[in-house]
Amino acid sequence: EPEVTQTPSHQVTQMGQEVILRCVPISNHLYFYWYRQILGQKVEFLVSFYNNEISEKSEIFDDQFSVERPDGSNFTLKIRSTKLEDSAMYFCASSPREVHQETQYFGPGTRLLVL
Amino acid sequence: AQKITQTQPGMFVQEKEAVTLDCTYDTSDQSYGLFWYKQPSSGEMIFLIYQGSYDEQNATEGRYSLNFQKARKSANLVISASQLGDSAMYFCAMRSNTGNQFYFGTGTSLTVIP
């Protein structure tokens, strides 16, 4: 069964450093998403991406964040200058359609720790 | 704005018993979908079950069923015949036709006792 994959599974970085989180969505999906989950809290939407551009973003997704689909398979989230409060689990998700009946398929997550 | 409320931070259930996890939602949209995800301690999000706002019948998927009461705006998850492997966090989520994102509740931690 096809699945969303994410690398790395864990990342430790120093405050102020740049990190790139990588995702490979399910191959025939067209819509891609990033979410984050601070430890013990709910999952929060960051950004959605379709047709090589951002279609929606939350207030969390400020100028330090960017997303890119550098080739036909990868979908990346870049955090330019990490802050302590960026420590969280980051989930990538993909969906074949943008309708309310369609679930989003989540990757296993990248656990980011900013020191 | 969409909002999902899960009022039970933690629940315990005896193995082989049934358990109901509560979820209420708030939306002004007419078309929307309600989802439940399971998050084991390893962290991944596992899709369990979906209910559409226009579906007249409650959704079922194996041991999972969704008790959908549209007038009350509730979408409770029922797990029958609980197993030890059901111990996890459970998140209720909603997606509407007017937006791309999922809105998640704060989750319920379920512990199955042998």
Return d(Cα B78, Cα B22) in angstroms, integer: 9
The DSSP code for A17 is -
Residue of A45, A46, A52, A5 lying closest to A31 (CA atoms): A52
The pLDDT of residue B65 is 97
Which position has the higher pLDDT, B87 or A30?
A: B87
The pLDDT of residue B99 is 67
Residue of B32, B30, B37 lying closest to B95 (CA atoms): B32
Residues of chain B with a CB closer than 8 angstroms to some CB in chain A: 31-33, 35, 37, 42-47, 50, 52-53, 91, 93, 95-97, 99-107
> Tell me: the pLDDT tens digits for A40-73?
888 999 999 998 899 989 999 999 999 999 887 8
> Tell me: the pLDDT tens digits for B10-27?
999 999 999 999 999 999
The pLDDT of residue B38 is 95
Return d(Cα B53, Cα B40) in angstroms, integer: 27
> Tell me: the pLDDT tens digits for B56-111?
899 999 999 999 999 999 999 999 999 999 999 999 999 877 767 889 999 999 99
Question: Which of B43, B50, B101 minimises the CB distance to A103?
Answer: B50
Chain B neighbors of A44, CB-CB under 8 A: 104
Question: Which of B44, B100, B104 minimises the CB distance to A108?
Answer: B44
Return d(Cα A20, Cα B46) in angstroms, integer: 24
Scored b (16 or more CB within 10 A) or e, A101-115 reads: bbbbbbbbbbbbebe
The β-bridge partners of B111 are B12
